[in-house]
Amino acid sequence: MKKRLSLFFVLVIFLVACNGKEDQGSNTLWDEIEEQGEIVVGTSGTLFPTSYYPEDSDELTGYDVEVMKEIGKRLNLEVTFQQIGFEGLFAAINSGRIDIAINDLGITEERKESFAFSDPYKYSFTTMIVRKDDLSDIKTLKDLEGKKAGGAANTTYSQIAEHFGAEVVTYGNATNDAYLRDVDNGRTDTVINDYYLQSLALTAFPDLNITIHPDLKFNPTKQGIAMPLEATTLQEKINSVLQEMREDGTLTKLSKQFFGGQDASAEPEGIQEIEGLTF
């Protein structure tokens, strides 16, 4: 674990005193990362297929993880992952425990007020897992009222559920099977989440009475890497590498590897927007 906060303030005071400039903290994080040759990355390790441990393996992998490893390689940095649940990722950035976070994090206007994000490395949209035999009695988004939606707290998906009157049943840093089994057994009615994550998760549990809702595809999303708001140089470095990876086909290759041949690095078309929501 790195201790960066005291160093940050020392450097800011030194630069202001010597150069008479207001604040050069935006470059401090990248300078320190480059000097140490290491970037500390927060991720959950429980989100298949983006950040997870394969069965009988202690090696972290997934689309997000491999994207981050490639970014580190191209920036000549050692990538050190810290496993942190979704609810703790942004706090870990603020505390200096980690440099950045990658965990299928949606880029929203609300989050951009407090954190900087990379350009999108993944595009998607939102779907709902429901019971196969009766679609959990959900025909439209308005039918979410009074239903129970399993999910992590403070996500855009939980906000969607609450917006339409559902009760959000929250979990800790749980693996996919906990969410899916609760829909199957009736403890919850639905899981609202990313289409690609849900489509892959279903293949792992063919015996459960669950399916992706056939008619509801909404809320187009963009996923990016989160970092401190002032880390503009780090943001530029990561964006430059992501652009290279997009142009040379690396993002497409990795996406197809982890998303069943689907290219999640390409922006989908014709997805329903949800009115009245501000994320």
The per-residue pLDDT for range 57-74, each reduced to its tens digit, is 999 999 999 999 999 999
Give pLDDT, residue 201: 86
Same fold, 5-121+224-258 and 123-220: yes
What is the domain partition of the chain in residue ranges? 5-121+224-258, 123-220
Confidence band for 1, pLDDT divided at 50, 70 and 90: very low
Task: Specify the pLDDT at position 25.
Answer: 44
Mean pLDDT of 189-209: 93
Question: Is the pLDDT reported for residue 97 higher than 80?
Answer: yes
Sequence-ordered list of residues with C-beta below 8 angstroms from that of 188, at least 6 positions apart, any chain: 148, 149, 150, 169, 179, 182
Determine the pLDDT at residue 27: 61
| pLDDT score of 155 | 87
> Domain 123-220 - what CATH class?
alpha beta
pTM of the model: 0.78
b/e map 182-191, b = 16+ CB within 10 Å: bbbeeebbbb
DSSP state of 104: S
Token pair belonging to 131: 């019971």
Q: Is the model's pLDDT at 12 over the cut of 50?
A: no
Cβ atoms 105, 50 nearer than 8 A:
no
CA atoms within 13 A on the CB side of 61: 12
For residues 44 and 23, the model is more confident at 44
Give the fold, CATH level 3, of 5-121+224-258.
D-Maltodextrin-Binding Protein; domain 2 (3.40.190)
Backbone angles phi, psi at 42, to 5 degrees: -90, 135
